[in-house]
Amino acid sequence: MLTIKQEEFEELKQFIYKNYGIDLTKKKHLIEGRLGNSLAARGFSSFREYFEYVYNDKSGAELSELLNRLTTNHTYFMRENAHFEYYKNTVLPELFNTVSDKSLGIWSAGCSTGEEPSTLAMLNDEFFYGKIGWDTRILATDISDRVLEIAKKGVYSAEAVEKFPQEYRKKYMKPCENGYMFLDRIRDNIIYKKFNLMDEFRFKRKFHVIFCRNVMIYFDSKTKLELVNKFYEVTEKGGYLFIGHSEYLDKDAIEYDYVMPAVYKKG
């Protein structure tokens, strides 16, 4: 297994932080564990040689694979379910009564393999069934090409949906060769795009709801605060931000108002 020299680690750490906001300060052993064996098997003699290969790959495929290796992308259906209950019982009725143009702005930022936006799409479908004229499409973004390809297919193993509420599985999924697939009306209501949260936000409209859960665990305090401020600027007045329960925001340092654990609102 290749070992990473301190100067190589510092270079990688600075490159990833500058371009993606991910803090690898305490991840040296993780990097060696996730990359060391595979790089040696591919014929690289050092991390330095591998970095040069990544930098010179104009397709961006190697950089995308590197990001896949460095981030966990661990998610599952109904994760932190209290958020979905609040979204269904409080947020959607509120939006129904206040959004005059019947066009929702919902963003799943850091959507991973699609479990979160798919769940939101089902809740939207259930709530707005029979309510004519509503645009409930969801923007779902991630920096990983690999997880976005999985998400776009909308196919999940029987094990992945085992704890999924049976009424939703029967209503919104159908059996397929590899497990279960979401119906077209769910998949077609989600727009998947590759997006780096460190880039400038240039959206045509603001969002009523932003889900960015268990993404900021990779960021230091400065990067996290800068990102939350960017979210705030693209949130509609009265809109919501949902973060992960393991993530902490200093209530005195942000513009959002605290609503409940890991839920904030723009007053």
Summarised one tens digit per residue, pLDDT across range 130-183 is 899 999 999 999 998 888 999 999 999 988 888 788 889 999 999 998 899 999
Can you tell me the distance from the alpha carbon of 23 to that of 218, in angstroms, rounded to the nearest whole number? Answer: 6
Percent of the chain predicted with pLDDT > 90: 67
Whether residue 1 lies inside any domain: the answer is: no
Beta bridge partners of 192: 140
221: pLDDT strictly greater than 70:
yes
Q: What is the mean pLDDT of the chain?
A: 91
Full domain range(s) for residue 41: 6-70
Same domain, 209 and 259: yes
Whether residue 76 lies inside any domain: the answer is: no
Whether residue 56 lies inside any domain: the answer is: yes
Same domain, 124 and 242: yes
Range with the largest mean pLDDT of 20-29, 152-161, 191-200, 211-220: 191-200
Q: CA of 6: how far to CAs of 25, 55, 122, 206, 222, in Å? A: 11, 19, 48, 43, 24
Tokens of 263: 């839920």
Assign residue 176 a region: left if phi > 0, alpha if psi is -120 to 50, beta otherwise? beta
Same domain, 57 and 87: no
259: pLDDT strictly greater than 90:
yes
Same domain, 146 and 189: yes
Tokens of 234: 């693209």
According to the model, what pLDDT value does residue 76 have?
Answer: 63
Same domain, 47 and 116: no
111: pLDDT strictly greater than 90:
yes
Whether residue 75 lies inside any domain: the answer is: no
| CATH number of 57's domain | 1.10.155.10
158-167: list long-range contacts, CB under 8 Å, 24+ apart: 160/76, 160/77, 160/115, 161/77, 163/76, 163/77, 163/78, 164/77, 164/78, 165/78
According to the model, what pLDDT value does residue 59 have?
Answer: 81
Average pLDDT over every residue of 103-126: 95
Same domain, 124 and 43: no
Of 10-14, 24-28, 208-212, 224-228, the least confident: 24-28
According to the model, what pLDDT value does residue 75 have?
Answer: 67
Q: What is the pTM of this model?
A: 0.87
According to the model, what pLDDT value does residue 73 have?
Answer: 58
Per the structure, the count of domains in the chain is 2
Same domain, 201 and 250: yes
Contact 125, 179 (CB under 8 A): no
Last residue of a domain, one of 22, 45, 70: 70
pLDDT classification of 70: cutoffs 50, 70, 90 = confident
Q: 235-252, pLDDT tens digit by residue?
A: 999 999 999 988 989 989
pLDDT classification of 38: cutoffs 50, 70, 90 = confident
